[in-house]
Amino acid sequence: MVEEMVVKAVKRVADGTGEARRQRRAGQIPAVVYGNTEPQSIQLDAHDFELMLQRHGHNFVADLVVEDEKPLKVLLKDLQHHPISGNIIHADFVSISMTEALQVSLPVEFVGEPAGVAEGGTLEQLVSEVEISCLPADMVDRITVDVSGLGIGDHLTVGDLALPTGFTALTDSDVAVASVAAPRVLTDEEEAEDAAAEAEGEEEGEAPAAEAPEA
Domain with CATH 2.40.240.10 in the chain: 5-96
- pTM value is 0.72
What is the predicted pLDDT for the residue at 215? 45
pLDDT of 199 > 70? The answer is no
d(CA 86, CA 80): 9
Closest Cα partner for 50 from 9, 87, 80, 78?
A: 87
Could you read off the pLDDT of 123-170 as tens digits, one per residue?
999 999 999 999 998 988 899 999 999 999 999 999 999 999 999 999
Whether the Cβ atoms of residue 173 and residue 159 lie closer than 8 Å to each other: yes
Q: Alpha helices, DSSP H only, in the chain?
A: 17-25, 46-56, 115-118, 188-205
Whether the Cβ atoms of residue 145 and residue 107 lie closer than 8 Å to each other: no
pLDDT of 17 > 60? The answer is yes
Closest Cα partner for 42 from 69, 18, 61, 60?
A: 69
Give the homologous superfamily in CATH for domain 103-181. Ribosomal protein L25, C-terminal domain (2.170.120.20)
Residue positions counted in the chain: 215
> Among 9-23, 35-49, 99-113, whose mean pLDDT is lowest?
9-23
Q: Given this structure, which CATH class describes domain 5-96?
A: mainly beta
Could you read off the pLDDT of 102-130 as tens digits, one per residue?
999 999 999 999 999 999 999 999 999 99
d(CA 166, CA 193): 55
CA-to-CA separations, 133 to 30, 41, 97, 171, in angstroms, rounded: 28, 28, 14, 10
- Backbone φ, ψ for residue 46 (5° rounding): -60, -45
Beta-carbon contacts of 60 under 8 Å, excluding residues fewer than 6 positions away, are 2, 3, 4, 5, 75, 76, 139, 141
Domain with CATH 2.170.120.20 in the chain: 103-181
Whether the Cβ atoms of residue 146 and residue 115 lie closer than 8 Å to each other: no
Q: How confident is the model at residue 206 (pLDDT cuts 50, 70, 90)?
A: low
